Amino acid sequence: MQTEKITERIVSWLKDYAVKANVKGYVVGVSGGVDSAVVSTLCAMTGLKTLLIEMPIRQNADEVNRAWEHMEHLKERFSNVEAISVNLSPAFEELYKTFDVKDEEFPAEKLAFANTRARLRMLTLYYYGQINGLLVGGTGNKVEDFGVGFFTKYGDGGVDVSPIADLYKTEVYALAKSLDLVESIQNAIPADGLWDEARTDEQQIGATYPELEKIQKEWGTKTESDYSGRDLEVFKIFSRMNKAAQHKIQPIPVCDIPEEWRN
């Protein structure tokens, strides 16, 4: 993997896009994971204003510590970087009390609240982005955004640009290493941080990112009959999630009205 060339391309792309959009730079939500760490670093490398926001909601202390370790590291390296924390727990607790229903009647409530956390963070990023003249930098990778749809619609999927959405997760880790990010970020186990209890991405999906990447790279060229054993299990997981996520992956559908009906 030619990490230097990829890095230069993304940084140049981000800078050009911001200049054409007539904005000052980017705002990025930093979670303590590798994706947001890589994106925030790439934004910082543009030389444009880069605002990093850590947004805890009932957050695990390890995630908060990793996020701040990374943000302090970037502030030391780049004079154009600012970092703040916006505690969203009080706002979420108010929403929790307002929205709460009986779990036995609505079994999808926990997932809905997990997505609510992501959407509250999206709202926060756009608020700070607007008052500072910044675009929201997306942190989704290729597997999450176009493979299994492992993101929240209008949550972490609500962004202005997606600089790493054409990179697989393993490639994002390769960039993290080449960018010399802090060790805690490079060694962090992927997790979305949207649940009260600790849930890794692998536990939620049922497969590792390398396993999913193998299927995605062969998607459309092989069928279920071409797989066996663990590969077959992962193919079924990928196929099920990809199908269910099309409403997130595809553009919003528009109901076309025949032109003759307008007369």
| Paired tokens of 222 | 């092989």
Are 67 and 30 contacting, i.e. CB atoms less than 8 angstroms apart? Answer: yes
What is the full per-residue pLDDT of the chain (263 aa) written as tens digits?
899 999 999 999 999 999 999 999 999 999 999 999 999 999 999 999 999 999 999 988 889 999 999 999 999 999 999 999 999 999 999 999 999 898 889 999 999 999 999 999 999 999 999 999 999 999 999 999 999 999 999 999 999 999 999 999 999 999 999 999 999 999 988 988 888 887 899 999 999 999 999 999 999 999 999 999 999 999 999 999 999 999 999 999 999 999 999 98
CA angle 124, 36, 239 (to 5 degrees): 100
- Is the whole model's pTM more than 0.85, yes or no? yes
CA distances from 193 to 15, 140, 189 (A): 30, 14, 11
Q: Give Cα 29 distance to the centre of its chain.
A: 9
